[in-house]
């Protein structure tokens, strides 16, 4: 839709200290509510990611890492040595209140990378667990106060469908991803996966969220735009038309009309 002709980059200083932390939970609800309580406590988190039980199981199977087959939160704290230690301690207290167990943390780069490996390899290890399945990835984003129900409803529906569908998420932003894995060539499974993805988008709208947090709208989700944006969608279209009167810049994506 546009061309970037100039970029101004804002640099942030390298933090003096970085601490990564991992914690397992009995259920999704405990993990997500721990995130909400941590945010509400004003504890600054540089990263906070959710990994569901299935993703943990696939990673354990692929690597013999031996994490519990349970939902996990993975966090990173940036700041001074004293600051990150205090932040990690306070998160640990909050997580414990919400059923968090097996809290572990790491400061050195190689140890942090080992903790983060489950998240970084989630896509690859899920594909390894289902050779011959076709990945469909989709994401939604909801207000943080609705995140627990959004993830739980999605996980329950995926479980009931029989389609493998691990969930991971940038839960500090209310954003999460499902990796749906219908068997290649199974038309019914493909349809079921498409329906699961559509239901995620409609769930996001029902809960006051957006049909895509970061994967984008493109053509696939343009059908939700009128419902998501109301009259604002036509306003966006008018701005596009003013800048691209001939409709030559990425037509048919995101906006009404061209």
109: contact with a second copy by CB under 8 A: no
246: contact with a second copy by CB under 8 A: no
Q: Please choose, from the candidates 6, 18, 162, 24, the residue with its C-alpha nearest in 3D space to the C-alpha of residue 92.
A: 24
Separation CA 67–CA 102 (nearest Å): 9
Query: How many binding residues for a second copy (CB under 8 A)?
Result: 23
Q: How far is the CB of 33 from a second copy (least distance, A)?
A: 16
Distances (CA, A) of 26 to 14, 16, 69, 214, 244: 35, 34, 10, 28, 52
74: exposed, middle or buried (C-beta count within 10 Å: 0-12, 13-18, 19+)?
buried
CB nearer to a second copy: give 219 or 243.
243
Q: Which residue has the tokens 């996966």?
A: 193
Q: Please choose, from the candidates 88, 86, 84, 73, the residue with its C-alpha nearest in 3D space to the C-alpha of residue 34.
A: 73
Q: CA geometry: angle at 120 spanning 119 and 121, to 5°? A: 90
CB nearer to a second copy: give 63 or 80.
80
Give the residue, chosen from 1, 184, 226, 238, that forms a contact with a second copy under the rule CB under 8 A: 238
Give the residue, chosen from 3, 4, 14, 219, that forms a contact with a second copy under the rule CB under 8 A: 14
13: contact with a second copy by CB under 8 A: yes
227: contact with a second copy by CB under 8 A: no
Note whether 25 and 102 are within 8 A (CB): no
137: contact with a second copy by CB under 8 A: no
80: contact with a second copy by CB under 8 A: yes
249: contact with a second copy by CB under 8 A: no
Give the residue, chosen from 26, 27, 86, 152, that forms a contact with a second copy under the rule CB under 8 A: 86
Q: Please choose, from the candidates 124, 125, 32, 123, the residue with its C-alpha nearest in 3D space to the C-alpha of residue 71.
A: 32
**Stretch of 13-21, 55-63, 111-119, 165-173 lying at the interface with a second copy (CB under 8 A):** 13-21
16: contact with a second copy by CB under 8 A: yes
Give the residue, chosen from 97, 235, 249, 252, that forms a contact with a second copy under the rule CB under 8 A: 235
CB nearer to a second copy: give 44 or 102.
44
- B/e letters for 9-46, b = 16+ CB within 10 Å, e = fewer, are eeeeeeeeebbbbbbbbebbbbbbbbbbbbeeeebebb
CB nearer to a second copy: give 40 or 109.
40
Give the residue, chosen from 1, 41, 159, 202, that forms a contact with a second copy under the rule CB under 8 A: 41
Applying CB under 8 A, which residues contact a second copy? 12-16, 39-42, 44, 78-80, 82-83, 86, 90, 235, 238-239, 241-243
């Amino acid at each position: 839709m546009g061309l970037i002709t100039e970029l101004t980059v804002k640099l942030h200083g390298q933090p003096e200290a970085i601490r990564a932390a991992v914690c397992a939970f009995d259920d999704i609800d405990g993990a997500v509510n721990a995130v909400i309580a941590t945010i509400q406590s004003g504890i600054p988190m540089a990263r906070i990611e959710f990994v569901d039980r299935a993703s943990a199981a696939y990673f354990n199977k692929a690597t013999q890492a031996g994490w519990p087959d349970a939902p996990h939160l993975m966090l990173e704290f940036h700041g001074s040595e004293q600051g990150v230690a205090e932040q990690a301690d306070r998160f640990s207290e909050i997580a414990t209140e919400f059923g968090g167990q097996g809290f572990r943390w790491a400061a050195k780069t190689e140890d942090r990378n080992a903790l983060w490996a489950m998240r970084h390899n989630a896509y690859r290890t899920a594909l390894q667990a289902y050779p011959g399945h076709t990945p469909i990835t989709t994401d939604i984003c909801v207000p943080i106060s609705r995140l627990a129900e959004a993830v739980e409803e999605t996980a329950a529906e995926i479980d009931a469908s029989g389609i493998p569908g691990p969930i991971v998420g940038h839960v500090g932003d209310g954003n999460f991803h499902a990796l749906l894995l219908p068997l290649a060539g199974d038309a019914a499974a493909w349809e079921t996966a498409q329906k699961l993805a559509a239901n995620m988008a409609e769930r996001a709208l029902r809960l006051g969220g957006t049909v895509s947090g970061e994967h984008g709208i493109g053509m696939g989700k343009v059908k939700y735009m009128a419902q998501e944006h109301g009259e604002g969608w036509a306003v966006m279209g008018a701005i596009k038309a003013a800048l691209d009167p001939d409709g030559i810049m990425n037509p048919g994506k995101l906006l009404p009309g061209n």
